Amino acid sequence: MGFSYKVANASEYLAITGLGIQDVKLAKKGWIMPGQSCTVFDVSPVNYTFEFQAMSAEKLPFLLPSVFTIGPRVDDRDSLMKYAKLISPHDKLSNHVKELVQGVIEGETRVLAASMTMEEIFRGTKSFKEEVFEKVQLELNQFALLIYNANVKQLVDVRGHEYFSYLGQKTQQEAANQAKVDVAEARMKGEVGANQREGMTLQNASKIDAETRVYSKQREGEGRKEEVRVRTEVKIFENNREAEVAEADAELTKRNAEWARGARVAEVEAEKAVAIREAELQVEVERRNAIRETEKLKAEKLCQAIVDYDTKVR
């Protein structure tokens, strides 16, 4: 046989043995050489439907219908290797695998049921199922199998042993009796409550009437007190306002006097400033007149000197 290249599907693995391989080689694809053998196995989980018969501690038989979804543990390489060696040579839908799984589940279920009374199984159905799953999973671990999902249906009586039926009827009857008791108690409480409410209504009416009268008197007295207080505050306010007005008038008179004095001082200072300025201007005018006269005399003298000079020269 020559070389060949094999590729597994998404839910499959290749188990390769033979030349150059110590034990088993798992792969998704690879070359198969001469002297090697390749087996393709599917790792998708399978649904197994069973109906086990178990017996409680009182030797009462019952049926346990269940559906288990079981497959190899693909997230652990060692478990997958163990599955390839132990289970993959058989078709996962074959009787061999089904009997293996059924034997484990049935054995653990019977052992657990035998340690519990029928009442415990019926009352604690959820915990009973969970414990069955845990014990079954422990046994399946040695075959590298994992319970992906498990659904245990309602426990069923074996023909001729109607324990669950009678227990259900008992529960229904107890519930009906309790309902009757609850209705009677509710009716009694309703009648007692109605009488109590009527009495309380009358008491509350009398109490409210008395409190209303007291409140009215209190409000009347408080109104009078408030009126006196307001009048007093108004009188005090008026006196304070008169005092403030008188004080303001005095302050205004004082400030008017200060303003008049300041205005007179400013007027005098202004008059002095005007006189000083007039004197300064007069001095400036006289100085300029003197300069002008001086210049005029200089010009006349110069002209006379020029005329005299010309006369002498001629």
- For 187-212, what is the HEC assignment? HHHHHHHHHHHHHHHHHHHHHHHHHH
| Number of Cβ within a 10 Å radius of residue 299 | 10
Identify the CA nearest to 137 among candidates 69, 86, 88.
Answer: 69
What integer pLDDT is reported at residue 161 of this predicted model?
A: 56
pTM, entire model: 0.46
Class of domain 43-161: alpha beta
What integer pLDDT is reported at residue 179 of this predicted model?
A: 66
Query: Strand, helix or coil at 43?
Result: coil
Query: Tokens 């200060």 label which residue?
Result: 258
Q: What is the mean pLDDT of each run of 10 residues along the chain (314 residues)?
A: 83 88 88 88 87 75 81 87 81 76 84 78 73 86 87 66 59 66 75 78 82 82 85 87 86 87 86 87 88 87 82 76
Tokens in use for 11?
């839910």
Query: Tokens 């017996």 label which residue?
Result: 55
CB 20 within 8 Å of CB 37: no
What integer pLDDT is reported at residue 157 of this predicted model?
A: 58
Query: Tokens 């409190």 label which residue?
Result: 211
Tell me the C-alpha distance between 194 and 263, whole Å. Answer: 95
What integer pLDDT is reported at residue 7 of this predicted model?
A: 92
Query: Tokens 């998404």 label which residue?
Result: 10
All structural domains of the chain with their residue ranges: 1-42, 43-161
CB 83 within 8 Å of CB 143: yes
Exposure b/e, 276-297, CB count within 10 A at least 16 = b: eeeeeeeeeeeeeeeeeeeeee
β-pair type (145-152, 46-55) = unpaired
Enter the DSSP assignment of 161: B
The DSSP element (H or E) to which 266 belongs, if any, is: helix 163-313
What integer pLDDT is reported at residue 257 of this predicted model?
A: 86
pLDDT in tens, 108-167: 888 887 887 777 776 766 777 888 888 888 888 888 889 888 887 766 655 655 655 556
What integer pLDDT is reported at residue 243 of this predicted model?
A: 85
Tokens in use for 74?
């693909």
